[in-house]
Amino acid sequence: RKEVEQDPGPFNVPEGATVAFNCTYNNSASQSFFWYRQDCRKEPKLLMSVYSSGNEDGRFTAQLNRASQYISLLIRDSKLSDSATYLCVVKGGQGFSFIFGKGTRLLVKP
Amino acid sequence: GAVVSQHPSRVICKSGTSVKIECRSLDFQATTMFWYRQFPKQSLMLMATSNEGSKATYEQGVEKDKFLINHASLTLSTLTVTSAHPEDSSFYICSANGLAGSTDTQYFGPGTRLTVL
C-alpha cells in the first residue's frame, strides 16, 4: 500500500456542485496533514492545513479521520477557477519527511 | 510571509552544458529545503533534501554527481544540473520548510522550466 493514496480523477463537476476528495495514509504516527492546490504548469500552493477538529475556509472544508487514516476535502459551490489538481500531504513528527499524494484532478465545467 | 523565489524561471540550454537553479527563502530562514522534479502530467517527484551546512540527502535513483546541491546559507539552496541531456528537461521546483500558523509545512518556489536541446 502506498504511503499516501489519492484517486487521480479527473472529477468532472458542473459549476455550483459540491465535490469531495479523500486521501488515505498508512502511517498511523503521522502528525500533520495538508491540502495543496496545483494549477497546470505552476507550483503547488498551500490550500489549508487539516486539524484534528476539522477546519473550514470559505467554501472549503477539510477533515481528518485518524481512526480510518484518511483526510478529506469538501468544496461547496464549485467555481470554474477551482479546476486544478489537489494534492494531499502527510507528515510524521519532527524530522520526518513530507509525503505527497499524486493528486486528484478536478475539472469544473460551466 | 513564507515566500520562496526561484531563478531562473525558464532556461533553455544545449546538451552537455550545466545549469544552476537558485532557490531563496525571502522572508524566513530555512534550514531545510527540498528539490522536486515534475514531468508533464505526472506527479511531483522528490529528488533530494537540502540541509544547510551539510550534504544533501538524495532519493533513490537520483544521481548526486549529476544533480549537485549546495545549501550554503539559511536562505539559499542551489541545484546544478551537470552535463544536461534532453531527458533532463523538466519542471524543477524547490520548497522550504516554514510555518503555517504553528504547523511546520512546505512553501514552494514558482519553479524552473528547463529545456535541454
Whether B16 has its CB under 8 Å from any CB of chain A: the answer is: no
End-to-end CA separation in angstroms for chain B: 37
Cell of B64: 548526486
User: How far apart are alpha carbons A55 and A22 in whole angstroms?
Assistant: 15
Using CB atoms, which residue from B44, B49, B91 is nearest to A100? B44
Q: Determine whether the interchain pair B111/A43 forms a contact, defined as Cβ–Cβ distance below 8 Å.
A: yes
Chain A environment of B34 (Cβ under 8 Å): 98
- Per-chain mean pLDDT for chain B: 91
Torsion of CA A58, B26, B40, A36, to 10 degrees: -20
Q: What pLDDT sits at residue B72?
A: 82
Mean pLDDT of A9-24: 96
Q: What pLDDT sits at residue B100?
A: 64
Q: What is the pLDDT of residues A61-107, one digit of tens each?
A: 999 999 999 999 999 999 999 999 999 999 876 566 788 999 999 99
Q: Which of B59, B103, B113 to mutate to test the interface with A (most CBs of A within 10 A)?
A: B103
Q: What is the pLDDT along chain B (117 residues), one digit of tens a residue?
A: 678 999 999 999 999 999 999 999 998 888 889 999 999 888 889 999 998 888 899 999 999 999 999 988 889 999 999 999 999 999 999 999 876 666 678 899 999 999 999
A46 neighbors B105 (Cβ within 8 angstroms): yes
B11 neighbors B19 (Cβ within 8 angstroms): yes
Q: Determine whether the interchain pair B43/A100 forms a contact, defined as Cβ–Cβ distance below 8 Å.
A: yes
Residue A2 pLDDT class (50, 70, 90 cuts): confident
A91 pairs with which residues across the strands?
A: A32, A98
The b/e string for A31-68 (b: 16+ C-beta within 10 A; e otherwise) is ebbbbbbbeeeebbebbbbbeeeeeeeeebbbbbeeee
Instruction: Give the gap in angstroms from C-alpha B99 to the nearest C-alpha of chain A.
Output: 11
